[in-house]
Structure 1
Amino acid sequence: MIKSTSHGRRTATVLAAAAATAVGVGLVASPASAATAWESLSLPPVTYAKNSVLPFDGQNAYVKNVRLCTDECTFSPTLWQKTGTVWKQVPTPSDAEVGVLAGTGVNDLWVFGSRYAPTGSYRFNHYDGTKWTSNLNPEPKNAEVLDAQAVSRNDVWAVGNYRDGVGGWHPMATHWNGSSWKTTKLTGISGEFNAVDVNSPTDVWAVGYRRKDGGHQPLAMHYDGTAWSEVPVHETPGERYVLSEVISKGPNDAWVAAGSKVSHWNGKTWTRHDTPASWPRFAYRGGQLYAGLAASPKLVRWNGSAWVTETPPTEGIQVDQLTTTPDGSLYAVHSEGNSFSPKSYLSRLAPPAAP
């Protein structure tokens, strides 16, 4: 299923990678036979911008495009639709900026964003390929979405934070069943969810952080179709340890990341398998886990015991996003430059050949 694009974990400008000295880093060369040529694809014709992509297949996709300023200026994110090789700009909702994208096709797009106001205002908008249905958020002053995933038109999950009106933030998850949103507020926890991964209505993971002892510690929770349960991650007191990425194959097989700290859940315990550079972006291709990184090596794959280097997209110095489409293709957004003059690229890796 297609992973979302997010203004947090999948579109933020990533920093230079940490050195590969953290616990559990393993890195070996990948066999040459594993390498496959990346296909370079076009992006919307906007210079000095960061892009995040929501692809559906080889012909159709949406892209959120954020131009960055070199002086006192502001640019609102723009939204583009790809049909074949042609990009066209899509008018955005009038009541909010484009934040997180999720959807199942060009006629089924969700946009979660904010409308600037003294009290805060968070919008859920849907685009059917022609028109917008706006402000579907049942609690627009409280529920902020930081990541989302659409499983089908009638099964969409979004996570973020719920603001209680007295200065408190709490993790929040909300689900669209085709007609309405049902929101779960974890008011007993101070913190937020940054990322979500959905396998089925009874198998959902959400990760982020909880405020504890004046700092931030990891928060990982699983939903079994009835209730959310915490799966405690080993803490590092005195450090800012915020989970920003999650991917799973089921309730007993999940990966989470914070910086270069990467942990795997096997149903009983977490085991550290840190990546050689920071900010991994996870995706599965052919049943194997890939991670795009913020520095060299730009792309690694988990071989069951260690991270092995893979042939990365040619351009850029870092991978900002990985996502897999239903046909098994792996898409990467990669970039170079600094925060004042970024340049983004889009590449596709075809599905692996059938055995």
Structure 2
Amino acid sequence: MTKSTSLWGTWSTRSTSLWRRTATVLAAATAAGVGVGLVASPASAATSWETLTVPITTQKVSVLPVGTQGLFARSEGICFDASECTPTVRVWQRSGTAWKQLTPPADAAADTLAGTADDDLWVIGSRWSADVDFRIHHYDGSTWSANLNPEPKSLEINDAEAAGRNSVWGAGSVRGEDPDGSTTWHPAVGHWDGGSWKTTRFTDVEGTFDAVDVRNENDVWAVGSRGTQPLAMHYDGTGWREVPLTGTAGSMGTLREVFGNGPNDVWVNSGAKTSHWDGTSWTRHDFSADSQAVVSFSSYNGQVLAGVNTPTSQYPKLIRWAGTAWQADTSLTPGVRVNQLATGGDGSLYAVSSRGDGVLFSYTSYLSRLAAPTS
């Protein structure tokens, strides 16, 4: 299973609500060293992180682990005002300890990366013109395909994940039209079966999917929103069914992330609000403060971890689920916030972290790797 590389919401494509909390709560959390749902860490993880280079340190970066230690990456320039600049997006491949830039087709857009090997990369995204055109291109290690999206004017994929070389799942939406002629959007899932992309539409729902998680061909989750309400659906190999987030006090809004650590161990989140599916029901396990917004889930040696976007170093940027509460993990030192976590095929864990905003403070990206467990 290989996770896509979509970046974080307010900054880029997905998965971050930024921080907001009153000064009183912030001060209290700082003084206590721990907030609601977060327990103090008795010690840092015993295994140390290895520092790797990033393609461009001054740009936003995300990575896609493939194979055992193969890596692709996406870099994006910082641009706060679309009317004044257009962010430069590049695609990279790690060769040994160095990065080489790839050259996708001129009509490609690299909003999302997915794939399984050095010769199996999917580049997915939209060409923002007067008429939005959504593109899906494949790279086989030497040659790029033409656009493979069967519905480039209506099918949009916000997140994608490869279950295998001949099985890639993409979650997003399709454009529809009401009887009065107005445009509507319906959640949709695209699936590559080795020969073509096929689309499953949920036309009875107005909304979109923002994230997908694929454990295998018979265990796929897609999450997003139905209007302003959270939407979660599961595929069991025969069909899709909605799994309503009932029994979770308080509105979660749009679900930005989904991660399955097992068939009965699934996590979804909306900012600091997080719910867990145990195979029967959902239970809320929120983070300590609204100032913390999870941007990525992953696992290491069977444990679930979450990368957190925080305003300052006074909050933990990496937390792990301790069975009853979230525990601060202080083992990762670079950066102030974690923008992405990703597990490699050999069980290693990659973390992209950063500090600065590129405007008031210089922006710096970091890439760290936790070697695969030896046991």
Q: TM-score, normalised by structure 1?
A: 0.91
Determine the C-alpha separation between the residues in 2 that align with 1:228 and 1:56: 28
Q: Which residue of 2 aligns with 1:39?
A: 50
> Which deviates further from its counterpart, 68-77 or 126-135?
68-77
Q: Which residue of 2 aligns with 1:333?
A: 352
Cα deviation, residue 226, structure 1: 1.8
User: What are the within-5 Å matches in structure 2 for residues 83-232 of structure 1?
Assistant: 83-165=95-177, 166-211=182-227, 216-232=228-244
Q: Which residue of 1 aligns with 2:3?
A: 3
Measured at CA, do residues 219 and 245 of structure 1 come closer, stay the same or move farther in structure 2, by a change above 3 Å?
Answer: same
SS in 2 for 1:32: coil
Cα deviation, residue 309, structure 1: 1.5
Q: Which residue of 1 aligns with 2:32?
A: none
Cα deviation, residue 153, structure 1: 0.4
Tell whether the 8 Å contact from 1:59 to 1:83 is kept in structure 2 after alignment. Answer: no
Q: Which residue of 2 aligns with 1:56?
A: 66
Tell whether the 8 Å contact from 2:7 to 2:339 is kept in structure 1 after alignment. Answer: no
Cα deviation, residue 70, structure 1: 7.3
Determine the C-alpha separation between the residues in 1 that align with 2:230 and 2:350: 28
Deviations 1:200-253 (A, max 9, x none): 211111100011xxxx11001101112111111149999671100111134432
Which 5+ residue runs of structure 2 have no aligned equivalent?
Answer: 30-34
Deviations 1:306-344 (A, max 9, x none): 111112421211000001011110100111111534221
Cα deviation, residue 130, structure 1: 1.1
Tell whether the 8 Å contact from 1:17 to 1:279 is kept in structure 2 after alignment. Answer: no
Runs of 4+ residues over 4 Å off in structure 1: 7-14, 17-22, 235-240
Determine the C-alpha separation between the residues in 2 that align with 1:162 and 1:11: 17
Determine the C-alpha separation between the residues in 1 that align with 2:242 and 2:221: 10
Q: Which amino acid aligns with 1:334?
A: S
Cα deviation, residue 59, structure 1: 4.7
Deviations 1:86-113 (A, max 9, x none): 1111112211321100000111000111
SS in 2 for 1:137: coil
Identity of aligned residues (%): 52
Which 5+ residue runs of structure 1 have no aligned equivalent?
Answer: none
Q: TM-score, normalised by structure 2?
A: 0.86
Give the count of matched residue pairs.
348
Determine the C-alpha separation between the residues in 1 that align with 2:249 and 2:154: 30
Determine the C-alpha separation between the residues in 1 that align with 2:239 and 2:5: 26
Cα deviation, residue 77, structure 1: 0.6
User: What are the within-5 Å matches in structure 2 for residues 301-320 of structure 1?
Assistant: 301-320=320-339
Q: Which amino acid aligns with 1:352?
A: P
Tell whether the 8 Å contact from 1:144 to 1:162 is kept in structure 2 after alignment. Answer: yes
> Which deviates further from its counterpart, 90-99 or 328-337?
90-99
